[in-house]
Structure 1
Amino acid sequence: MKPALSTPPREFGGNVVTPGDRRYAALRSTYTTRGAPAAILLPRDTREVVAAVRFAREQGLPLAVRSGGHGLTGAGTNDGGLVVDLSALDQVEVLDPGTRLVRVGAGARWANVAKALAPYGLAISSGDHGNVGAGGLATGGGIGWLVRQYGLTIDHVRAVEVVLADGTVVRADADREPELFWAVRGAGAGIGIVVAFEIEATRVRDVGVAQIAVAAGPDGDTLHRWARYLAEAPRELSTAVMLMPYGPSTVMSITAVVADGSPKRARTLVAPLLAIGDLLDHRTDTMPYTALVPTAHLHPNTGQQPAITTNGLLAGMSEGDARAIMAMARSGRALVQLRSVGGAVNDVPADATAYPHRHQDTLVVASVFPPDGPAALDATWRGVSKRMDGAYVNFESRLTPAAFQRIYPGETGTAVTEVWRRYDPDGLFRPASLST
């Protein structure tokens, strides 16, 4: 028989949702993972986050931290443990319009961040869906619609407010707690709970957006031409690709975003993509940045899209790489997506943050859905795994020791582990799969 939870301390003051509460069904899960936690804690401010952390330590149960958004990895829930849900910490404040410095609560979702910044003509390149939560993305990386122009979200974080495992509240930046500040940008999940970020936004109002459908052959030539163009294209252009089997062929669905409000500039940068293969459909528009991550995206996360996901990075896509990726997509066993990176991402030194992948230019993502599970994903991924050069934590469902080594290779992994142990010696926040 499971021991009953003790009563949360008086200073917590926030909501505690347990099984039987009518709200439990809407709070137990992430977008991809159904959970059955013993309780979900809903702190309303930093003081209550401190109380929640202390309560979690006392209970000795597994702990998950959730910023309120999609939670693709599934790490925002568990079975039988506690979940600290930060969705009430969703304030967005422009601290200084001149320097473009913005304070973003960890529970904010990027649709609301975009909406709050739009009157100032500002934006933060973030997730590619408005329902993505700020906290998880801004501690893991942040590959958004403006990634080649702006870089990763973490590259523009200037300070963080963190609740550590002992309940201490720390402000970390380049001068104060620099090791913590280094690790929280790319490996923040194992350190503590970041409750707020100070992020330097960029000036953006309208962007060019193209939706393109191209027939892609099994030889990989079309995919290779896409990658070759993106490796040399002006940085204003960022793209996301979905490879979808369609009968005997494969459709390459491309969303291209140009960080420039000029329709002419958008058409110019998109034009080479129309010639990479047999064009099936195409439309280019100019729209506000907020239209890319609209508030219409906001929804509860109830485990409605179960999935297991893995990924890898490529430094230059060879013809062999393209053929292997196409074979994976054509198998029909996994949804295959790609993101263009490079550009401003690679301006940052590899050791500047805990995200060390600063020479690659393509992210490859594969997901499987029920009834397929981990074995099916591994079998599907096997044909491309040895071609990959690193991985991204926010598109990895299973943070095994092997995945950790791909995400944080070599000296980066050693440094991440040392910082995690220094600030969280008992492993309260460390993923259970890595607690040895």
Structure 2
Amino acid sequence: MPDYGHELLFGTFLTPDAHDPDRVVALAELTEAAGLDLATFQDHPYNSGFLDTWTLLSWVAARTERLRVSANVLNLPLRPPAVLARAAASLDRLSHGRFELGLGAGAFWDGVEGMGGRRLTAGQGVAALREAIGILRGVWDETASGPLRREGPYYPVPGMRRGPAPAHDINIWLGAYQPRMLALTGQEADGWLPTLEYLRSPDRVTANRLIDEAAVEAGRDPRQIRRLLNLFQVDVSADDRGFLQGPPGQWVDQLLPLVLEEGFSAFLIGRDDPRLIQTFGQEIAPALREAVARERRQSETTTGPVRSAVALAERRSGVDYDALPASLAAGSVEPGDREYEQVRHSYSWSGSPALVIRPRDAAEVVDAVTYARTQDVPLSVRSGGHGISGRSTNDGGIVIDLSRMDRVEVLDQATRRIRLEPGARWGHVARALAPYGLAMSSGDYGDVGVGGLATTAGIGYLVRRYGLTIDHVVAAEIVTADGRLLRVDERHHPDLFWAVRGAGGNVGVVTALELEAYEVGDVVHAQLVVDATDTAGLLHRWGRLVEQAPREITSFLSLFPNRRGNPPMAQVTLVYAGDDVEAAQSALSPFLEIGPVLDQQAQLVPYPAIVAPPGNQHRGQGLVDSHSGLLHHITPEAADVMATMIRSGDVMIMQFRSVGGAVNDIARDATAYPHRKQNFSVLAATVPDRRRQLDKHWAELYPYLDGMYLSFEADTAPERLLDAFPEPTLSRLRAVKATYDPDNVFNRNFPVPPALDARRTGKETNG
């Protein structure tokens, strides 16, 4: 059999021993610590000596960060597929895409029947499993219209609501040995999961052939089906005593033919031996990966995902899909792929890109940028957050989606130095920093991605006390348009470092940021709901109080139009950056006089509690037209114009964020965000059919504005360029573009034209 070209996976097959539950969890944690990819567990619910496998899977997923989990294999006759589908999707979402579904038709029928399950013949078991796979995928397909309805003798579904969709495309791996099960594997499954000791070499060859033939007959490419293998009779503690019973080098030599000649690409060791697990992860797996990669290079084996003819028909013109580097293939999603619906949109905007590339590290970002430059289509970069401006997706182009690069590290607690990858969400950052007593002000919503916010500005709940997020960036790693990976700071490429802080999306793809966090534990969080009938008066009073408040107070105000005869409403959020309750009460009390307060609450809470990530799906469900501006003060005249806007019914929401304070302590030329005198940011958003009306209202407000907050502005017309980057910032940014992006590859954030004179301004220290 040929090598099917799959990325290699390595893992464990652990015993869910109910008599020593801590040990099996510790072995799973060791699986992750050893660098292995996957921990799997037996599922025999009728065995009183075993833990419930589903509960164990959930517990292990919660105790680990990177490890995939799966049953090996799940007992279908005791787990109805409609319920199983929701449980699987839920665990996958909770674990951020780390669940896979090993599934079996059933065995040990006395035990199944003893628990109330239905005894099936071998043929019935295959037919029931086929029904179940259809139900599983039907439940997960939230894009299909109407409820899921299935008729069948084993698992009829008269009508159920679909969803939730899993966080990633869950693989269904079948434990199969007999011809009918092997045929089902080729027709419907994503993988074959047998045990080596149950199959002689000729049997493995025959089984692979049956799977391949069934796949071809079903219109599938056999390479779509991963081949996994459980290994039980294994040992690294002895000299050569036989197959996989010897030192690591012997393992590599003996496993290599299973990959290259029989197509297996995942190996799971079935011994609860800590030393073996560690050796397997730290010595055998890396050596086998290297050996396989070397052989694949020499044989020019095609690697990466294989798509069906139906999926290939969905490819778009203008993109050379076959030229995609092998390093990116496994993480890329095309329009015909099942995961496409989950990656095509941002939270706020709908998109239909021709290709979504999801790199795992900076080296793959280099490959992605280098490849994208060769394609004559738009290029968008997405860190994984909301994308309010609409620039993190596109139609017919390429999206480099950084959501898989989501590590959060505390490098040095003493100096408060942290390192963030761009795909992390700020809610996760807050939770990761909290045990160290640290925090970073970062917007008002935990689902927002790190990369977009931390390269634009970052107006968060602590902004008046601690400044913008970019003001705490001390270094960045960035891939430039020519494919270089640079580390930039005050001494190394200082001009590029200046540009990253405020215009990062214009100059490259940031792959990591280092910041100096600050010490924050509990904060006082207050919310008011206010009758905004006197809209102008409310805005003016709120603005005046914010400017008079101590810096510990940061406030956001969201204004909503009247609905169903009710007056306009305002929701005011106030955060006191500290745990001094008496001082907070004194600072917050004046805000109770801004208007008729309909509801109020205040509490002392840990900072992560106010930016907890909700884990929203991104389906382009936001308001797709928005304008952004900055105000020095909320004057009565400006307040009157904004009151007219919200009373018109043409504007769905206006949000005001306080800045000033520590933001304005920074010199306007210190970063590419030059707006260091204003005290407020204002955003107005509406639905597409009222876009023209919003534009007219915004034109009335425009004379009162000075600058914009780039990430909230959907209009990138050239005449708005100076609002984002007023001179001399724009000229300086154009000079940086001329050096690092002379072809304007990164033109979606705002099409900043590189300076015609590409000579550098100032001096640069390259280190």
Q: TM-score, normalised by structure 1?
A: 0.96
- Tell me which moved more, 216-225 or 115-124: 216-225
Q: Tell me, in whole angstroms, the C-alpha distance in 1 between the residues paired with 2:535 and 2:581.
A: 34
Corresponding residue number in structure 2 for 1:325 = 642
Q: Tell me, in whole angstroms, the C-alpha distance in 1 between the residues paired with 2:544 and 2:354.
A: 50
**Structure (1/2) with the larger helix percentage:** 2
Corresponding residue number in structure 2 for 1:401 = 718
Q: Deviations over 1:181-221 (max 9, x none)?
A: 11110011110100000011111111111111222344722
Q: Deviations over 1:270-299 (max 9, x none)?
A: 10000122222211111111111113x122
Corresponding residue number in structure 1 for 2:124 = none
The question of whether the paired residues in 2 share the 8 Å contact of 1:6 and 1:59 is answered with: no
| Structure showing greater Rg | 2
Q: Deviations over 1:17-57 (max 9, x none)?
A: 10110000000011111111110001101111111111111
Q: Within 5 A, what are the aligned runs for 1:6-85? A: 6-12=322-328, 14-85=330-401
- Tell me which moved more, 31-40 or 297-306: 297-306
2:430 is paired with a residue of what secondary structure?
helix
The question of whether the paired residues in 2 share the 8 Å contact of 1:131 and 1:299 is answered with: yes
- Tell me which moved more, 149-158 or 395-404: 395-404
Is 1:366 the equivalent of 2:681? no
Q: Tell me, in whole angstroms, the C-alpha distance in 1 between the residues paired with 2:679 and 2:472.
A: 19
Q: Which structure is higher in RCO with an 8 Å CA cutoff and minimum separation 6? A: 1
Corresponding residue number in structure 1 for 2:574 = 256
- Classify 1:11/1:250 alpha carbon distance in 2 versus 1 (closer, same or farther; 3 Å): closer
**Cα distance, 1:13 vs. partner?**
5.4
Corresponding residue number in structure 2 for 1:214 = 530
Q: Tell me, in whole angstroms, the C-alpha distance in 2 between the residues paired with 1:355 and 1:172.
A: 17
Is 1:90 the equivalent of 2:423? no
The question of whether the paired residues in 2 share the 8 Å contact of 1:336 and 1:365 is answered with: yes
5+ residue gaps, structure 1: none
Is 1:339 the equivalent of 2:657? yes
Corresponding residue number in structure 2 for 1:289 = 607
Corresponding residue number in structure 1 for 2:194 = none
The question of whether the paired residues in 2 share the 8 Å contact of 1:139 and 1:187 is answered with: yes
Corresponding residue number in structure 1 for 2:289 = none
Q: Within 5 A, what are the aligned runs for 1:208-287? A: 208-218=524-534, 220-246=536-562, 247=565, 249-287=567-605
- Tell me which moved more, 217-226 or 141-150: 217-226
Q: Tell me, in whole angstroms, the C-alpha distance in 2 between the residues paired with 1:227 and 1:268.
A: 18
The question of whether the paired residues in 1 share the 8 Å contact of 2:410 and 2:417 is answered with: yes
**Cα distance, 1:435 vs. partner?**
6.9
Is 1:151 the equivalent of 2:467? yes
- Segments of 4+ moved more than 6 angstroms: none
Q: Within 5 A, what are the aligned runs for 1:156-235? A: 156-218=472-534, 220-235=536-551
5+ residue gaps, structure 2: 1-315, 754-767
The question of whether the paired residues in 2 share the 8 Å contact of 1:210 and 1:257 is answered with: yes
Q: Tell me, in whole angstroms, the C-alpha distance in 2 between the residues paired with 1:240 and 1:219.
A: 15
Corresponding residue number in structure 1 for 2:267 = none
The question of whether the paired residues in 1 share the 8 Å contact of 2:506 and 2:749 is answered with: no
Task: Calculate the aligned-residue CA RMSD, in Å.
Answer: 1.6
**Cα distance, 1:321 vs. partner?**
1.3
Q: Aligned partner of 2:693: which letter?
A: A
The question of whether the paired residues in 2 share the 8 Å contact of 1:13 and 1:48 is answered with: no
**Cα distance, 1:250 vs. partner?**
2.5
Count of equivalent residues: 434
Q: Tell me, in whole angstroms, the C-alpha distance in 1 between the residues paired with 2:605 and 2:704.
A: 37
Q: Aligned partner of 1:429: which letter?
A: F
The question of whether the paired residues in 1 share the 8 Å contact of 2:391 and 2:749 is answered with: no
Q: Aligned partner of 1:365: which letter?
A: L
**Cα distance, 1:5 vs. partner?**
2.5
Q: Tell me, in whole angstroms, the C-alpha distance in 1 between the residues paired with 2:345 and 2:528.
A: 34
Q: Aligned partner of 1:361: which letter?
A: N
Q: Tell me, in whole angstroms, the C-alpha distance in 2 between the residues paired with 1:252 and 1:87.
A: 33
**Cα distance, 1:363 vs. partner?**
0.9
Q: TM-score, normalised by structure 2?
A: 0.55
Corresponding residue number in structure 1 for 2:756 = none
The question of whether the paired residues in 2 share the 8 Å contact of 1:12 and 1:47 is answered with: no
**Cα distance, 1:14 vs. partner?**
4.3
Q: Deviations over 1:359-417 (max 9, x none)?
A: 100111100114323x1220221221111011110111122212221011121111112
Q: Within 5 A, what are the aligned runs for 1:111-150? A: 111-150=427-466
Q: Within 5 A, what are the aligned runs for 1:96-111? A: 96-111=412-427
**Cα distance, 1:81 vs. partner?**
0.8
**Cα distance, 1:432 vs. partner?**
8.3
The question of whether the paired residues in 2 share the 8 Å contact of 1:122 and 1:203 is answered with: yes
**Cα distance, 1:6 vs. partner?**
3.0
Q: Tell me, in whole angstroms, the C-alpha distance in 2 between the residues paired with 1:39 and 1:192.
A: 19
Percent same amino acid among aligned pairs? 45
The question of whether the paired residues in 2 share the 8 Å contact of 1:314 and 1:361 is answered with: yes
Corresponding residue number in structure 1 for 2:94 = none
Q: Within 5 A, what are the aligned runs for 1:304-315? A: 304-315=621-632
Q: Tell me, in whole angstroms, the C-alpha distance in 2 between the residues paired with 1:343 and 1:56.
A: 41
Q: Tell me, in whole angstroms, the C-alpha distance in 2 between the residues paired with 1:14 and 1:55.
A: 15
Q: Aligned partner of 2:645: which letter?
A: M
2:627 is paired with a residue of what secondary structure?
strand
The question of whether the paired residues in 2 share the 8 Å contact of 1:218 and 1:327 is answered with: no
**Cα distance, 1:123 vs. partner?**
0.6
1:6 is paired with a residue of what secondary structure?
helix
2:672 to 345, 348, 354: 354
